[in-house]
Amino acid sequence: MFHMLLHFIVPAIIAALFYRKMPFKAWLIMMATMAVDLDHLVADPIYDPNRCSIGFHPLHSYLAVGIYIGLLFIPRMRLIAVGLVIHMILDYVDCFI
């Protein structure tokens, strides 16, 4: 439950600190990147509390993470990339808890 809460709080902090002219819009865009979790629907079982999603689900693969990091260097894609990278970092940390 705390993990899910972090997916809302961390982007809010990033939006407040780095997107002061449009914090709510920035937060909403980063929240939209939560759609990356739709790849959990193709897993069997859909939810496994002991499974690390990094490297398991297609949109959480190492290749996908590399693409998300690459998107950080494209100004028009940066906010989406920030949301995706935050999401992947939080999911990666969850693998060790």
DSSP 75: G
Q: What is the pLDDT of residue 49?
A: 80
DSSP structure string for 27-70: HHHHHHGGGGGGGGGGSSSS--TT---TTTSGGGSHHHHHHHHH
Annotated domain spans of the chain: 2-94
Instruction: Read off the pLDDT of residues 15-34 as tens digits, 9 standing for 90 and up.
Output: 999 999 999 999 999 999 99
| pTM for this model (two decimals) | 0.92
Instruction: Read off the pLDDT of residues 49-88 as tens digits, 9 standing for 90 and up.
Output: 888 899 999 999 999 999 999 999 999 999 999 999 999 9
